[in-house]
Chains A and B, each alone.
Chain A
Amino acid sequence: MYILLIKHFFRSKTVVLAFSLLMLLGMLSIGSGKQFLNQKKIAITKTIEQQKKHIKTQRKYNKDDIGLLSYYLKFSFLKPLEPLAAISMGQSDLNTDIQNVSIVALEGQKHNTDLVNPMRQQVGNLDISFLIIFLFPLVIIALNFNLLSEEEEKGTWKMIKIQSKSSFKFLITKLSIRLLFISMTLGILFLIASFILEIPFTESFLDIILMSYLYIIFWFALCFFVILLRKSSNTNAIILLASWLTLVVFLPIFINNYINKTYPIEEAFSMVIKQRDAYHKKWDTDKKETLNRFYEHYPHLKKYGYKTEGFSWLWYYAMQQLGDDDSKEEREALYNKIKKREALSKKMAQFFPPLQLQLSMNEIAKTSLTNHINFLDATVKFHEDIRLDIYPKVFEKHHPDTVDFEKHKPKFFRAEDNFSLSKNSFSTILITLFLICFGVFKNLKYFK
Chain B
Amino acid sequence: MQTNLVLLITKQYFKKTFYSKGLFVLLSLFLILLTYITINSWSIFEKRHNSVVHHQKESRNSWESNPDKHPHRMAHFGSFVFRTQHPLSIFDSGIETYTGNSIFLEAHKQNTANFSEASLSTGLVRFGDLNVALLLQLILPLIIFFIGYASITSEKENGTLKIIYLQGATIKEILFGKALGLFLVAAVFFLPALISLWSISFLDSHTTNAEIITRTLIITLSYILFFIILCFVTVIISGKSKNSNKSLLRLLAIWLLFFIIIPKTAQVVGNTIYPNLSKIEFNEAIETEIAKQGDSHNPNDPYFNNIRDSILKANNVTSVKDLPFNYSGFLMSKGEEQTAKIFNKQHKKLIQTYKKQNSIANRLVLFNPYLAIKNVSMGFSGTDFYTYTNFLSQTEAYRYKQSQYMNHLQMKFISNNAKGSEGKINVVEKSYWKAIPQFSYHYLPVLDTIKHQLISLAALGLWLLLSVIIINYFSNHFKII
Contact A341 B248 (CB under 8 A): no
Contact A57 B291 (CB under 8 A): yes
| A358 interfacial by beta-carbon distance below 8 Å | yes
| B265 interfacial by beta-carbon distance below 8 Å | yes
| B44 interfacial by beta-carbon distance below 8 Å | yes
Contact B138 A249 (CB under 8 A): yes
Q: Select which of B40, B76, B350 is within 8 A of A115 by beta carbon.
A: B350
| B438 interfacial by beta-carbon distance below 8 Å | no
Q: Mark B275-315, 1 if CB is under 8 A from A, else 0.
A: 11111111110010001000101100000000000000000
Q: Mark A208-239, 1 if CB is under 8 A from B, else 0.
A: 00000000000000000000000001100110
Contact B40 A257 (CB under 8 A): yes
Contact A255 B124 (CB under 8 A): yes
CB contact list, A1-57 vs B, under 8 A: 25, 28, 31-32, 35, 39, 42-43, 46-47, 50, 54, 57
Contact A46 B261 (CB under 8 A): no
Chain B residues near A362 (CB-CB < 8 A)? 123
Q: Mark B238-267, 1 if CB is under 8 A from A, else 0.
A: 000000110011001000100011011101
Report the number of A-B residue pairs with Cβ-Cβ less than 8 Å. Answer: 237
Contact A341 B130 (CB under 8 A): no
| A176 interfacial by beta-carbon distance below 8 Å | no
Q: Mark A120-134, 1 if CB is under 8 A from B, else 0.
A: 111111100010001
Chain B residues near A369 (CB-CB < 8 A)? 120-123
Q: In the complex where A32-B268, A273-B58 touch, is A358 in contact with B244 (Cβ < 8 A)?
A: no
Interface size of A by Cβ–Cβ distance < 8 Å?
87
A412 to B119, CA, bound (A): 22
Contact A234 B245 (CB under 8 A): yes
Stretch from B90-98, B199-207, B215-223, B449-457 that touches the partner: B90-98
Q: In the complex where A119-B361, A284-B67 touch, is A368 in contact with B123 (Cβ < 8 A)?
A: yes
Q: How far is the CB of A176 from chain B (nearest CB, A)?
A: 24
| B461 interfacial by beta-carbon distance below 8 Å | no
Q: Select which of B58, B98, B114 is within 8 A of A118 by beta carbon.
A: B98
A423 to B67, CA, bound (A): 58
A349 to B268, CA, bound (A): 27
| Smallest Cβ-Cβ distance to A261: which chain B residue | B44
Contact A269 B102 (CB under 8 A): yes
Q: In the complex where A117-B358, A118-B385, A311-B422 touch, is A234 in contact with B244 (Cβ < 8 A)?
A: yes
Contact A111 B275 (CB under 8 A): no
Contact A311 B357 (CB under 8 A): no
| B388 interfacial by beta-carbon distance below 8 Å | yes
Q: How far is the CB of A294 from chain B (nearest CB, A)?
A: 17
| Smallest Cβ-Cβ distance to A57: which chain B residue | B291
| B18 interfacial by beta-carbon distance below 8 Å | no
Q: How far is the CB of A397 from chain B (nearest CB, A)?
A: 16
Contact A349 B124 (CB under 8 A): yes
CB contact list, A101-123 vs B, under 8 A: 108, 111-123
A180 to B242, CA, bound (A): 31
| A409 interfacial by beta-carbon distance below 8 Å | no
A115 to B130, CA, bound (A): 26
A174 to B38, CA, bound (A): 46
Q: Select which of B102, B118, B263 is within 8 A of A272 by beta carbon.
A: B102
Q: In the complex where A46-B280, A57-B291 touch, is A111 in contact with B114 (Cβ < 8 A)?
A: yes
A28 to B273, CA, bound (A): 13
Q: How far is the CB of A34 from chain B (nearest CB, A)?
A: 10
Contact A124 B126 (CB under 8 A): yes
A35 to B127, CA, bound (A): 22
| Smallest Cβ-Cβ distance to B103: which chain A residue | A272
Contact A126 B277 (CB under 8 A): no
Q: Select which of A43, A245, A265, A310 is within 8 A of B142 by beta carbon.
A: A245
| Smallest Cβ-Cβ distance to B77: which chain A residue | A280
Q: How far is the CB of A220 from chain B (nearest CB, A)?
A: 20
A119 to B138, CA, bound (A): 18
A108 to B282, CA, bound (A): 19
Q: How large is the interface on B (under 10, 10 to 19, 20 to 34, 35 or more residues)?
A: 35 or more
Contact A61 B295 (CB under 8 A): yes
Contact B67 A90 (CB under 8 A): no
Interface centre among B55, B121, B128, B298 (most CB of A within 10 A): B121
Chain B residues near A47 (CB-CB < 8 A)? 280
| B420 interfacial by beta-carbon distance below 8 Å | yes
Contact A253 B44 (CB under 8 A): no
Stretch from A92-100, A156-164, A193-201, A439-447 that touches the partner: A92-100
| Smallest Cβ-Cβ distance to B120: which chain A residue | A265
Q: How far is the CB of B93 from chain A (nearest CB, A)?
A: 10
Contact B245 A273 (CB under 8 A): no
Q: How far is the CB of A378 from chain B (nearest CB, A)?
A: 18
Q: Select which of A100, A134, A259 is within 8 A of B122 by beta carbon.
A: A259
Q: Select which of A264, A270, A280, A284 is within 8 A of B47 by beta carbon.
A: A264
| Smallest Cβ-Cβ distance to A141: which chain B residue | B252
Contact A342 B122 (CB under 8 A): yes
Contact B123 A122 (CB under 8 A): no
Q: In the complex where A256-B122, A272-B104 touch, is A122 in contact with B130 (Cβ < 8 A)?
A: no
| Smallest Cβ-Cβ distance to A63: which chain B residue | B300
Contact B95 A122 (CB under 8 A): yes
Interface centre among A96, A255, A280 (most CB of B within 10 A): A280
Q: List 11 A-B contacts (CB under 8 A).
A: A28-B268, A117-B358, A120-B357, A238-B146, A249-B127, A256-B121, A256-B122, A268-B114, A272-B104, A276-B80, A341-B121
Instruction: Give me the 8 closest cross-chain CB pairs, A-B, nearest first.
Output: A252-B127, A345-B122, A121-B98, A256-B124, A269-B55, A311-B422, A257-B130, A268-B115
Not counting A233-B245, A265-B120, A311-B423, a sample of 8 additional A-B residue pairs whose C-beta atoms are within 8 angstroms of each other reads A28-B268, A32-B271, A118-B116, A249-B127, A253-B130, A276-B104, A345-B123, A368-B123
- Interface residues of A, Cβ cutoff 8 Å to B: 25, 28, 31-32, 35, 39, 42-43, 46-47, 50, 54, 57, 61, 90-91, 94-96, 98, 100, 108, 111-126, 130, 134, 138, 142, 233-234, 237-238, 241, 245, 248-249, 252-257, 259-261, 264-266, 268-270, 272-273, 276-277, 280-281, 283-284, 310-311, 338, 341-342, 345, 349, 355, 358-359, 362, 367-369
- Interface residues of B, Cβ cutoff 8 Å to A: 40, 44, 47, 51-52, 55, 58-59, 62, 66-67, 69, 73, 76-78, 80, 82, 94-95, 97-102, 104, 111-130, 134, 138-139, 142, 146, 244-245, 248-249, 252, 256, 260-261, 263-265, 267-272, 275-284, 287, 291, 295, 297-298, 350, 354, 357-358, 361, 385, 388, 420, 422-423
